[in-house]
Structure 1
Amino acid sequence: MSALEQDLADYLQLRRSLGHELAEARWLLPGFVAYLDAHGSPTVTIQAALEWAQQSPTGQVTTVGPRRMTAARGFARYLAGIYPGTEIPPSGLMPHRQRWRQPFIYSTADIEALMNQAHQSITSPLRAATYETLIGLLASGGLRIGEAIKLDRSDVDWSGNVLLIRESKFGKSRLVPLHSTAMQALSAYAALRDNLQPRPKEPSFFMSLTHKRLCYTVVSQTFRKLVNNAGIGTGARPRHRDFTISGIRRTAGLCSLSLCCGWWAPCGRCFGAHNPSVRRQRADDSSLACRALCGGP
């Protein structure tokens, strides 16, 4: 192990102890250290950092370069306290503009089609119910997919119709109130899950066929298949549309906005909305909420 490799290990350990995940730094910086060692550089210089960041196997400009420079800058700040000759690359040396793909907003019909597709196309009863309920929860509760996967059985308050979302984004926790029809669907899923898997290996609410917590990669792949098989987004330009499961929570935001503006758009089959009595119940609830939020009559 070279001196710079040991410095990198110490740097990463220090940053982790301060609570940083360092997902990109852990991936990028070993290549930077190898580049410095190969060129005989005892520490970071602006020229070396810039040359390494601009490296591209295809010769095309990508967003990796600025990310490399950001990682190198943080490492250089650390080395500056060890090696006097260290040069810290200034901010803005490789500016870039993040290119976000236009998100796809799932309509009420899209959510209903996805839940129907999960129910009809997935052969395993538990797996079909898992994805049908998961999609409905994301649309009606506005949860992030990671929050739904992380949900444990003890996080469901059946008496208060509330979910506890623990240590989500930025380490914050929150309570998410749900409609009674949503709780009924969660209860039906829990009963089916406990009947098919009476001895789970983990306390997670949504279970896989291996008796463990759902895997994000598998969930994303399955959701993409459901989207394709349901024909959602046909005609949209894929390069400008983001057909990911993370986009479902935007539907809940639009429903909340619709509610606040005085009209209610129920999410299709989302947790009982296909039932006329449930539709009437939701309409009554939305009317009361609208008067409370907007000061309506």
Structure 2
Amino acid sequence: MAEAAWLLPDFVAFLEDRGQSTVTIAAALAWVKSREGEVVTTVSPRRVTAVRGFTRHLSGIDPDTEVPPLGLLPYRQRWRQPFLYSDADIAAVMAAAETLGPPPRSATYRTLIGLLAVAGLRVGEAINLDRDDIDWSEGVLRIRESKFGKSRLVPLQPTTINALREFDALRDEVVPQPKDPAFFISRTARRLLYAVASPTFRQLVDAARVGIDAPHPPRLHDLRHTFAIRTLLTWYRTGTNVQAKIPSLSTYLGHREPASTYWYLSAAPELLALAAARREGIGKAARP
């Protein structure tokens, strides 16, 4: 409902700009297209879902209301090459957050981006963090029932904990009584929504001119990919037994099984080359 409450006013404003008083399926599709272009993203079906719930209510008032059918915008997950952020890229995007206005908002996005970069969390996991999910003394995050219903503990470096503590103090000072127990809150003092965070991140990336020549625009989720690939690259470069360490990385990332973590071996050419060279070297050593 929180996401619908954010999306529907924009839809109503879109209808008013068109001078349209009755909701139609064509209008719903035109709204999605006007906000996201020709490409169906993960947010597109959620926009239609919000309109669908709204129109089911309206149809009892206005019989001409058209309710979008289920599956109107089916989204099929397609693999795409992740954008790998450099240290300079991440620093530039975090610096761009300073332009977002009041200190609480800029600090929210600066801290969120920094946490995603150094902990490899899914975006939803970071947004769903409550204040009680941070063990300050042990430096550990508790991720509750994330993807596949799995929960896990994520240890952090002391520098990361210090950054989170500074943000926590600032938020307490500016918003002493938030409306949600969330760690990351919006300007309404409620939990930050992905539907708000994603376009804001896009704005920051554009302002920082990060990935302007990339075949696909950088995404928030690519921070997680970058973390995983950097970890594997470091292991290969330092001669670590990667096969033995993969289960640990899989657990840290919250993957259902290590096989999901091996996907990253094909996500970066350098990593694939290192993995192939390591395998070839082991094969030669094993030959009589």
Taking a change above 3 Å as real, the CA distance of residues 99 and 249 of structure 1, as seen in their structure-2 partners, is closer
Higher-Rg member (1/2): 1
Give the CA deviation at 1:118.
0.5
SS of aligned partner of 1:203: coil
Equivalents in 1 of 2:205, 2:146: separation in Å? 26
* Alignment of 1:105 onto 2:80: no
One-letter amino acid matched to 2:90: I
Equivalents in 2 of 1:138, 1:227: separation in Å? 15
Partner of 1:216: 194
Q: Size of the alignment, in residue pairs?
A: 174
Kept in 2: contact 1:220–1:245 (CA 8 A):
yes
Partner of 1:170: 148
Partner of 1:186: 164
Q: 1:245 aligns with which of 216, 220, 225?
A: 220
Q: 2:124 aligns with which of 128, 138, 146?
A: 146
Give the CA deviation at 1:172.
0.4
Partner of 1:93: none
Give the CA deviation at 1:236.
2.0
Q: CA offsets, 1:54-77, max 9 Å, x none? A: xx9xxxxxx95xx8xxxxxxxxxx
Kept in 1: contact 2:211–2:217 (CA 8 A):
no
Equivalents in 2 of 1:235, 1:103: separation in Å? 14
Equivalents in 1 of 2:158, 2:78: separation in Å? 40
Taking a change above 3 Å as real, the CA distance of residues 189 and 165 of structure 1, as seen in their structure-2 partners, is same
Give the CA deviation at 1:98.
6.0
Give the CA deviation at 1:131.
0.2
Equivalents in 1 of 2:151, 2:118: separation in Å? 19
TM-score by length of 1: 0.54
Partner of 2:139: 161
Kept in 2: contact 1:224–1:244 (CA 8 A):
yes
Kept in 1: contact 2:120–2:224 (CA 8 A):
yes
Give the CA deviation at 1:103.
1.9
Kept in 2: contact 1:161–1:178 (CA 8 A):
yes
Q: CA offsets, 1:82-107, max 9 Å, x none? A: xxxxxxxxxxxxxxx96433221112
Q: CA offsets, 1:160-189, max 9 Å, x none? A: 110000000000000001000000000000
Taking a change above 3 Å as real, the CA distance of residues 187 and 257 of structure 1, as seen in their structure-2 partners, is same
Partner of 2:182: 204
Equivalents in 1 of 2:169, 2:208: separation in Å? 28
Equivalents in 2 of 1:99, 1:144: separation in Å? 18
One-letter amino acid matched to 1:194: D
Kept in 2: contact 1:142–1:252 (CA 8 A):
yes
RMSD: 2.7
Equivalents in 2 of 1:246, 1:227: separation in Å? 13
Equivalents in 2 of 1:255, 1:180: separation in Å? 20
Equivalents in 2 of 1:235, 1:256: separation in Å? 25
Give the CA deviation at 1:201.
0.8
More displaced 10-residue stretch of structure 1: 254-263 or 194-203:
254-263
SS of aligned partner of 1:210: coil
Kept in 1: contact 2:97–2:109 (CA 8 A):
yes
SS of aligned partner of 1:261: helix
TM-score by length of 2: 0.56
Partner of 1:257: 232
Partner of 1:283: none
Kept in 1: contact 2:130–2:182 (CA 8 A):
yes
Kept in 2: contact 1:102–1:242 (CA 8 A):
no
One-letter amino acid matched to 1:113: A
Segments of structure 2 that go 5 or more residues without pairing to the other structure are: 1-44, 53-71, 239-288
Equivalents in 2 of 1:103, 1:213: separation in Å? 27
One-letter amino acid matched to 1:160: E
Segments of structure 1 that go 5 or more residues without pairing to the other structure are: 1-22, 31-55, 57-62, 68-96, 264-297
Equivalents in 1 of 2:230, 2:139: separation in Å? 19
Kept in 1: contact 2:83–2:214 (CA 8 A):
no
Kept in 1: contact 2:182–2:190 (CA 8 A):
yes
Equivalents in 1 of 2:97, 2:174: separation in Å? 18
Kept in 2: contact 1:103–1:242 (CA 8 A):
no
Equivalents in 1 of 2:157, 2:140: separation in Å? 9
Give the CA deviation at 1:262.
4.9
